A and B are shown apart, each in its own frame.
Chain A
Amino acid sequence: QQQVKQSPQSLIVQKGGISIINCAYENTAFDYFPWYQQFPGKGPALLIAIRPDVSEKKEGRFTISFNKSAKQFSLHIMDSQPGDSATYFCAALRLTTSGTYKYIFGTGTRLKVLA
């Protein structure tokens, strides 16, 4: 089954704290793992992404940690700010038999950062 399991469903963090969102996948054929950020009333927007041959990628306050053997990857938001309050989706891409890439999205995590 082509699934990506995401947790937690919701998360409340104090300003300045670290927000951690986890995702796990089952299919080893996935070869790209993006994270999307969605603000209310807006479509999701790409935040950061990682390839499976890399264990960590950092962009500003956002870091993806990737554990290939455990088939898990996580998003860490350092020094969380109220402006980070949004819904975060992990995703995994796999190449289909027709030669196109298909996205499998997690169920999302609603993050609220308290001021």
Chain B
Amino acid sequence: GAGVSQSPSNKVTEKGKDVELRCDPISGHTALYWYRQSLGQGLEFLIYFQGNSAPDKSGLPSDRFSAERTGGSVSTLTIQRTQQEDSAVYLCASSSAWSHISPRDNEQFFGPGTRLTVL
């Protein structure tokens, strides 16, 4: 079946504009994660969805960042009033499990990411 897809693959925007990044998880995956990967850096956790709710938003760097998930499927990450330091690759991952079934069942499958450049 299809893997995790993200759109757009690349986004160039001007400082101060709002952007929306989309993630389509693997069908049936209940857990969805957003990460940010800056050039040469590791994966910075942003937010985690369990179904449509977000029990862990601890990684969102500021109130300019928000995310939603509707219908337990597609998720949108919105960055308002973008800043140059927001430039990064934004990765989405999904997982079939979200509880303590087994850590292996919580394997995350990543999308290709959206490269955001804020000029």
Could you tell me which A residues sit within 8 Å of B by CB distance? 6, 31-32, 34, 36, 41-46, 49, 51, 89, 93, 95-96, 98-103, 105-108, 110
Binding site for A on B (CB under 8 A): 4, 31, 33, 35, 40-43, 45, 48, 50, 55-56, 91, 93, 97-100, 103-104, 106-113
A102–B107 Cα gap in the complex (Å)? 11
B108 contact set on A, CB distance < 8 A: 46, 103
Q: B4 to chain A: closest CB distance in Å?
A: 7
| Contacting pair B98 A44 (CB below 8 A) | no
Q: Which secondary structure dominates chain A's binding surface?
A: strand
Distance between Cα atoms of A44 and B33 in the complex (Å)? 13
Closest-CB distance, B31 to chain A (whole angstroms): 8
A86 to chain B, nearest CB (A): 13
Decide yes or no: A107 and B42 within 8 Å by CB, A95-B100, A101-B100 being known contacts.
yes
Contact A43 B111 (CB under 8 A): yes
